[in-house]
Amino acid sequence: MKISKYPLAAAAALLSAAPACAQEAMGIDEKVNQAFAQVTGPFVSLIFAPFPGTDFPWIVMWLVIAASVFTLYFGFVQLRFFKHAIQLVKGDFADPNDAGEVSHFQALATALSGTVGLGNIAGVAVAVGIGGPGATFWMILAGLLGMASKFTECTLGVKYRNEYPDGTVSGGPMYYISKGFKELGLPGGKILAVLFSVFCILGALGGGNMFQANQAHAQISGIIGDYPGWITGIVFAVIVFLVIVGGIKSIANVTEKVVPFMGILYVGAALIILLVNYDKIGWAFGQIFDGAFTGLGVAGGMVGALIQGFKRAAFSNEAGVGSAAIAHSAVRTNEPITEGFVSLLEPLIDTVVICTMTALVITISGQLIMDPATGQFVLDGARIATVDGNTGVSLTSAAFGASISWFPYVLAVAVVLFAFSTMISWSYYGLKAWTYLFGEGKMSELVFKLIFCVFIVIGAAASLGPVIDFSDAAIFAMAVVNIFALYFLMRIVRQELQSYSSRLKQGVIKAFTG
């Protein structure tokens, strides 16, 4: 308890000195920003390169086609085994002898606390801000299809994890790619695993870290007034450092308990706003459907809406990215496929529920400026003009604030907690990739954790554009390698599915009653 008082004191001291150094500090922000944009530019351009002659980034098709293939290959597993997934999470099939081990619910909750973050709050605002409400339709569709991708990767994550003599586990795409390919007698597994690990480290530093810090700062400075981002960055970095290096479990424990409540509060507030505006719900859905197929004047029209929707869904629920496989691999179960079933629920909760709530509130709030004469959105460059020119998390904040005037304060707390819990989760995913490449060991781990904390400061200091571009690119790069491998490994998952499915039907696998 004594140790944890210092960061708070340090934070208070820094914040009180802020106004005095504001001018000079803004200069630092700019420099960091420019350097960052220069370095990451080429990588971002490669990932988001469009199909020749079109505006369509190939990476979006890559993700959606994969999700569709998996959906068909596994016979719409998201529908067939949805009920079973719920039963597993409730514990109906839990062996009493396994009491005390990681439960399916805990694995799901852990993975969700990693994926539910600023993507659901700020990322959706970016999508709807560029692609309009129509992006929501494509986002939901991508979420539903993505359930099959998660199913595939999480099953493999459990099946091919490493169990060490001291009882700890390490799992994830780098393990299932190398082991799975070897099992199937395919070459190149090791190289792909290494490539994935590199991208995973970049993804952990980007979406799991910089983006979170950046948007958390945006929300805080929106409330208490403008001040340099690196200050927020340092405060966050110090606290994260204490948790991941110092092992101050109490902070992480608090966050992990509070985050689900914040999630419920957020969805609850969204539902209240929708109920209060019940007369506009029909209109909002109309906007979503119209926008989905016509664009309603957004940049790129229908395709623009589609691209934004798919992009945001992928970034938010991480289906096909492989990070959830790392989280789910800790469950001790004899049936890897059960973790696959449980992971079906993640894109559903993350995208179809939470992201949609954000999108509906933004649509209903009237923050997006529409020309009443034409019924099309007024554009401001590539994005839709908004009241006060808000983007990202400030757009979401304004949207909620339009109905519940004090909600931006609650949102600030929620944003900080979501950002923090996502950072903790992704520091772990990045760490697993790092130790896969550089070996386990205290020194090796410390180096990564220090790098991770430095990037928190960079992320808070940079402006939204370069940060979100790099974050997206890094995470999608993971999906490139992961999905490529999944195409080869999916037959293994099908065997598991068929075996489990028949045993379930025959009653060999039974629910535990009483």
Partner 1 sequence: MTVKLVIGLDGAETGDRALEFAKTLAARIDDCELIVAYVIEWSPFTFQTPEENAMRHKRREEELATATARVAEPAVKSLQDAGFKASCIVRHGDVAETLNKITVENGASQIIVGRSSEGGFTKRIFGSSTQNLVMHADVPVTVVG
CA separation for the pair 263, 113 (Å, rounded): 9
The torsion angle over the Cα atoms of residues 460, 465, 471 and 475, rounded to 10 degrees, is 160
Question: Which positions from 180 to 219 touch partner 1 by CB under 8 A, shown as an x/- string?
Answer: ----------------------------------------
Q: Which of 10, 86, 109, 353 binds partner 1 (CB under 8 A)?
A: 109
Scan residues 325-354 and list those touching partner 1 (CB under 8 A). 326-327, 330-332
Q: Is 10 in the site for partner 1 (CB under 8 A)?
A: no
- Kindly tell me which of 99 and 275 has the beta carbon lying closer to partner 1: 99
Residues in the chain: 514
Q: Which of 7, 57, 114, 131 binds partner 1 (CB under 8 A)?
A: 114
User: What amino acid occupies position 407?
Assistant: F
Q: Which of 25, 63, 107, 201 binds partner 1 (CB under 8 A)?
A: 107
- Kindly tell me which of 41 and 260 has the beta carbon lying closer to partner 1: 260
Q: Is 428 in the site for partner 1 (CB under 8 A)?
A: yes
Q: Which of 252, 270, 456, 460 binds partner 1 (CB under 8 A)?
A: 252
Q: Which two tokens stand for residue 224?
A: 């208490």
The span of 92-100, 375-383, 433-441, 451-459 binding partner 1 (CB under 8 A) equals 92-100
- Residues 198 and 437: beta-carbon distance below 8 Å: yes
Q: Which of 24, 166, 279, 388 binds partner 1 (CB under 8 A)?
A: 166
**What is residue 467's three-state secondary structure?**
helix
Q: Is 478 in the site for partner 1 (CB under 8 A)?
A: no
Q: What is the DSSP letter of 98?
A: G
Q: Is 34 in the site for partner 1 (CB under 8 A)?
A: no
Name the minimum Å distance from CB 329 to partner 1. 8
Residues 6+ apart with CB under 8 A from 297: 132, 371, 374, 376, 377, 378, 379
The span of 41-49, 148-156, 250-258, 349-357 binding partner 1 (CB under 8 A) equals 250-258
User: Between β-strands 379-380 and 376-377, what pairing exists: parallel, antiparallel or unpaired?
Assistant: unpaired
Residue 384: strand pairing partners: 379
Name the minimum Å distance from CB 106 to partner 1. 5
- Residues 244 and 420: beta-carbon distance below 8 Å: no
Q: Is 425 in the site for partner 1 (CB under 8 A)?
A: yes
SS3 sequence of 295-326: HHHCCCHHHHHHHHHHHHHHHHHCCCCCHHHH
- Kindly tell me which of 102 and 281 has the beta carbon lying closer to partner 1: 102
Name the minimum Å distance from CB 440 to partner 1. 12
Q: Which of 71, 120, 152, 170 binds partner 1 (CB under 8 A)?
A: 170
Name the minimum Å distance from CB 264 to partner 1. 12
User: What amino acid occupies position 26?
Assistant: M
- Kindly tell me which of 44 and 108 has the beta carbon lying closer to partner 1: 108
- Kindly tell me which of 249 and 503 has the beta carbon lying closer to partner 1: 249
CA separation for the pair 365, 229 (Å, rounded): 28
For residue 77, give the H/E element and its range. helix 77-80
Residue 57: strand pairing partners: 50
Q: How far is it between the farthest Cα atoms of the chain?
A: 73
Q: What is the DSSP letter of 509?
A: S
Q: Is 442 in the site for partner 1 (CB under 8 A)?
A: no
Name the minimum Å distance from CB 333 to partner 1. 11
Q: 142: closest CA among 347, 333, 375?
A: 347
Give residues in contact with partner 1 (CB under 8 A). Answer: 91, 94, 96, 99-107, 109-110, 113-114, 166-170, 249, 252-253, 256-257, 259-260, 326-327, 330-332, 424-425, 428-429, 514
